[in-house]
Amino acid sequence: MADPGRPAEVPPDTELAGLGVSQGRAAGPVIRMAPPPVLPSPRQVADPAAESAAVVKALESVTADLRQRGALAGGGDAAEILDALAMIADDPMLREDAEAAVRGGLDAPHALDAAFTHHRETLAALGGYLAERAADLDDLKHRAVAACLGLPMPGIPAPGHPYILVAEDLSPADTAGLGTDVVALVTEKGGPTSHTAILARGRGLPAVVACAGITALADGTVISVDGKTGQVGVGLTDEAVAELRRSDREERARLANSSGPGRTADGHPVKLLLNIGSAADLRPGAEGVGLFRTEFLFLDRKQEPSFEEQVAAYAEVFARAGTVVVRTLDAGTDKPLPFLGLPPEPNPALGIRGLRVDRVLPAVLDTQLDAIAEAARATGADAWVMAPMVTTPAEAAGFARRARARGLTRVGAMVEVPAAALLADRLLAEVDFLSIGTNDLSQYTFAADRQHPGLADLLDPWQPALLKLIAACADAGRAAGKPVGVCGEAAGDPRLAPVLVGLGVTSLSMAAVCVPSVREELSQHSLEECRELAALAR
């Protein structure tokens, strides 16, 4: 590895550009992720029992490593992802497959390779989300083979000094387990709503994805990363590095001091709310929770969570957060819930997902609404409830009827499908508020898979077609005198915030790390200026 801090042979003042997905700036030496282990030539197996024992030991060591990193992650998405991966590595079927491969004549590393490859192919054949999880199995395979060969675990380096992690892409396990020595991350692939982006934002780590050319840099090259603009500067002088770190420190200190409700410069209120997946994501400084992604609580569950378990999970959040907008389970496509047992579909993003699950399993929504109502009663919280993937006014009406029958008085619909935005006025005749999920609204408006790094330009929330749909919802909200918020990732973009407010949006819900800069930016613009910016943008 090159000497950290010594610029590699790249022209000074070169600039690479990617997508800024987690704000903040950092500078430091690049370290690229260690390559996966190379399998040696197969060995003649003299002692199958010893090979089997080596297989078991490798799987146990990978499982233990993931569990330990899960415990160190301290809760939240990161811990959940690491625990889920540990469960896969600990799967008895996987171990039995590898032991069968040993009995078939393979040595331990090749038996592990064969077992993981077989499981990967099975998942890939199922399509949809499960096919996407197949990449996790590659990551686990590399770890298991490395453990078996006595090689250092591939994945996150530990150089003993702060560095910028560069990778082609980062698996959920790698991103979730990043140590505090990683000061920023840059990947060649990935999209704005990828795991990398969501986890980096959760940690407040500057991050740039879809940055072409980044993996060509040598280890030790000093770069700067701007997680807001997506710019990556290469070949910096020591003075430039020191200046950037100083100004980032100042900026963070300034933002950390920001508090109070969201307001434009002339006092127009805009609620600043949190997006959470569990109570572990709650932070002070916001005005409540604008999106509680309840499906995150149950992603790896094989059994439906009971009414009592759901009441406890919701009450934990309600007791600490006051006002909470609970989204009912958004299962399907990139977030399947195994306990629902839904069959694979040829085109899952356009299939049974979100509220549509209710068409085939109505009891699931009934139990969840019962549990939300009970948790609200028990805690006295101001609980709002909304459904994901609402497409027609009839769907909104049906959901509202069932929620109100349980005493839930603030009932809303997410706007994630263009059809819903186009009939926002009719949706608002049925419900009390709308919350715009720009991640999916972009995906469905632009016919662009939200996980696709090559389509990031279409998924850019500044696209005028998306802004026009947001404006249509806000206009309908104004006419009906009902709130219309944004809870997709776009709400956490401080540059976009004045535009969204100018379009008429009444609340913005985002990862906790985004709140101070959005609050700060809003306070710089009067409502009239926001409206002017919105008129220019749409």
Ranges within 474-503 binding ligand PEP (CB under 6 A)? 487-488
Beta carbon nearer to ligand PEP, 202 or 488: 488
Inter-residue contact 501 to 270 (CB < 8 Å)? yes
Residue 287 interface partner, choices ligand PEP, Mg ion, none, CB cut-off 5-8 Å depending on type:
none
For residue 362, what are the contacts with CB-CB under 8 A and spacing of at least 6? none
Q: In whole angstroms, give the CA distance from residue 371 to residue 311.
A: 5
Instruction: Name the residue among 129, 131, 99, 128 with its Cα closest to residue 114.
Output: 99
Beta carbon nearer to ligand PEP, 271 or 293: 293
Q: In whole angstroms, give the CA distance from residue 374 to residue 310.
A: 10
The residue behind tokens 């298991």 is 144
* Piece of the chain touching Mg ion by CB under 5 A; list 141-149, 296-304, 434-442, 464-472: 434-442
Residue 109 interface partner, choices Mg ion, ligand PEP, none, CB cut-off 5-8 Å depending on type:
none
Q: Which of 110, 119, 142, 195 is catalytic?
A: 195
Work out whether 440 is an interface residue with ligand PEP (CB under 6 A). yes
Residue 27 interface partner, choices ligand PEP, Mg ion, none, CB cut-off 5-8 Å depending on type:
none
Ranges within 321-360 binding ligand PEP (CB under 6 A)? 330
Q: In whole angstroms, give the CA distance from residue 332 to residue 340.
A: 10
Q: In whole angstroms, give the CA distance from residue 153 to residue 174.
A: 11
426 φ, ψ (degrees, to nearest 5): -75, -30
Q: In whole angstroms, give the CA distance from residue 59 to residue 493.
A: 42
Work out whether 438 is an interface residue with ligand PEP (CB under 6 A). yes
Beta carbon nearer to Mg ion, 163 or 433: 433
Work out whether 139 is an interface residue with ligand PEP (CB under 6 A). no
Work out whether 440 is an interface residue with Mg ion (CB under 5 A). yes
Work out whether 437 is an interface residue with Mg ion (CB under 5 A). yes
Work out whether 455 is an interface residue with ligand PEP (CB under 6 A). no
* Piece of the chain touching ligand PEP by CB under 6 A; list 117-125, 207-215, 241-249, 436-444: 436-444
Q: Which of 487, 514, 525, 530 is catalytic?
A: 487
Tokens of 196: 């990398």
Tokens of 6: 């010594």
Q: Is 487 a catalytic residue?
A: yes
Beta carbon nearer to ligand PEP, 52 or 445: 445
The residue behind tokens 């090979």 is 51
Instruction: Name the residue among 448, 407, 400 with its Cα closest to residue 192.
Output: 448
Q: In whole angstroms, give the CA distance from residue 253 to residue 243.
A: 15
**Which residues here bind ligand PEP, judged by CB under 6 A?**
291, 293, 330, 416, 437-440, 487-488
By annotation, the residues acting in catalysis are 195, 487
**Which residues here bind Mg ion, judged by CB under 5 A?**
416, 437, 440
